[in-house]
Amino acid sequence: MVSCAHSVKGVAVPASRLVNRNVIAGNGRTSMRLEPELWAALLEVCQREGHDLHTLIRALDAARRNGGRTSAVRVFLLEYFRAAATEAGHAAAGHGPEVARRAA
């Protein structure tokens, strides 16, 4: 069942899953809205890299060229975890054709 926040002209509008959090970026305090899974991934990166969330956001904000801050964070997370993905890691997670061949 989909949770609805409100309706528009009698049509139910689903509630957003996005979580709003305050962060410190280029010009000071601001807010970002991301899915809970992306917030968890950001915190995991911070823990792995020994940074706090605000330091990471400031670095991503300073490095972005086009687009918004949230977009830059999503792209960073994709690139970070893609770079960390290995064939051994995929096999351990049960991904890919090698696993399918062994199961057959």
Domains parsed from the chain with CATH numbers: 18-93 (1.10.1220)
CA distance 72 to 59: 11
DSSP element (H, E) containing 97:
helix 97-103
CA distance 89 to 33: 30
CA 51 to chain centre: 16
**Which residue from 76, 84, 81 is spatially nearest to 58, judged by alpha carbons?**
76
Per residue of the chain (104 residues), give pLDDT as tens.
445 555 657 776 667 789 999 998 877 898 999 999 999 999 999 999 999 999 999 999 888 878 889 999 999 999 999 988 888 877 777 777 665 566 55
Cβ(102)–Cβ(90) below 8 Å:
no
